[in-house]
Structure 1
């Protein structure tokens, strides 16, 4: 005698059963059916069904209810695929082809869909058991329309009495719940922040929205654990955080937390700053079974705050340096001018020169200033035909711009008092060039002609000391001041690529 569970007996029982059965693959294609099913749906040969998608073969016709019938049947199949559990349809109106002319006949069915799994627990088929209850349903409706409650009750008893009625109610409730679930899932997927649902102690992804995929660099997350999908986050402490929430049942909240996700193409990782919460998910007994992840990418806010902090630090640094410069100018000017009036005039002119350079830097948001613009600012009070500028555009760092602004002010002031600009025929020629593009060096020559006879000063004034100190200390350059009979000349040379770390100190 064969064992009841053998494949031969099962296949024979399947084929010989008077109840309609059919098998679908997970992609909803016919894999098998018995003779009773073929008779129920009006198909003569198995070849007409095997391998074909069920909804290509049976479309429910072109009636107004056809789309809803197809949706209801498809939803039942998908529920079995998603949950691995059986699903029931108490009553469904599903039209079937009734003849060669392509006409459809309304039929009423009751169906049960059961998952068939292999030894590994994987769903391999869906088994459908279908009952055609068309005649009973139509008869029941006719009796109801004729107001014959006794007949209706009798038919209810034949097809299950209140059981069918309750099944219909459950089916409608399930439909409403499914609609609500779909709406919740849609809201979940469209949430402005990132959200995900993780299950089990290994934190397996069950659900996640587009914002979460974006944070995760669009990795393949479905069905994977966090560590499988994002192995780099273990060393960043995120797995430990999840483990703690799962084990203790206490939520965890992070603020401005940096996460680094490796790029698929290599190179520097993608950095994001996150505000998030890990909230434990509990079952009916209160045990933690998963974790709900919700948060926002706050990278823009964090980086903006960091930029603001750097700007404030930079501003404080500049203010301190400016105050130090003003203090130095005041002390040095006071040593050179005993008379209060001449001190005030000289001190004010130097502050104005410092202010001019600050204005230029402010226009560029303190990114720097061009050498020609600084020269024009400091010589603008003189006839433009008497000051000749010749050289290429040279962008300067803020520190170099401030130092050169003070230097050119002193040179122009001395030229106006004692040099070429003190004489109507005098002129100043300023030429500059940049050498060695790999390690750029600026060379500038200030040359005066046509002024009064040059007198070599018997002492080094504040202007001379400021020029020499700024060039040597602040610009790491060299300067050569020459008092020639043909006119005063200043030769200045310094490197351009020293960076922003050098700030003027007068």
Structure 2
């Protein structure tokens, strides 16, 4: 058997080093992976000449330390995934991530003869990890920014994530709520009904929606509209449940007070509740909370308020207009005279959030040149970088035309 030929054609990336860490031999797979020739590598110091790392002193080079451990322990030493870019013939670099093992080889007297390095290109895996981390960080940023109580649940029904607004509302840390559950913030007499509704949804794999009273940190209970829906993989298996809870206490209280004062308002209050629930059922959560959220949402960048991210609901307010990449003044000139640029400037300068409730904004909703009054609830909230410097503004809100119209009707009937 031609052992040398076998070595040269093995599919793994292999290089043989001397006890002084000089390159003695390598196989074809190693040459292809490093984009080097045999003449460029043989006889060179592995770390000082062939593959130097100027970011750390030689004695602290993690590859050298791994080689040292293998030689000292007389055992294979495994080197974790690390980035090492491979220079291309054109002078540019190919970004790569590698895992390695260092296997010492000794003679009959126990003297170190060689160290065999086996490397594996794990670039695709590491990039996937980095992309997953970036995606998760983006989701967490959005979830923490939204003014709703956001949660995720495992397929087995265990809480896995709560945004910080849960702790703000309940006065209980998210870690405690996740570990102990949220039963202790629910009304005891409603707990069985709520639990049964959740069990039915989990067993059938269907969307869950119900109105629940949750205890705040001051001991008061407020009504929330809670909705959860299953997230499935490509095979249709449920991988998690995602949901949100929206405070509807004030709306319910208003309706109840009107009903108590005039029973004839019952039919109209049902319409109000139905209209509200219909809007809520259209909401998407988690991945849909960002770009497919039922509320309008955008990020404005810099002091000129340039659109950086716009979801579908926000774009619907300005059909056939290019928003992303343009400033508010450029893309939506009709809001300048209404004073909104000045308000944005103030939020960007002071960091003080601006909250508007049922404010009438004049917009060309249908792209016809005709200006309509659109009633909006929205918030301008400053965004900060790691140095607490304001970098932009988050805009989040709802169109509340129907709510305003129904309330106005209710007020008119209440005065009649």
TM-score bracket for the superposition, by shorter chain length: 0.3 to 0.5
| TM-score normalized with structure 2 length | 0.37
Q: Which has the higher contact order (CA 8 A, sep 6+)?
A: 2
Between Structure 1 and Structure 2, whose CA radius of gyration is higher?
1
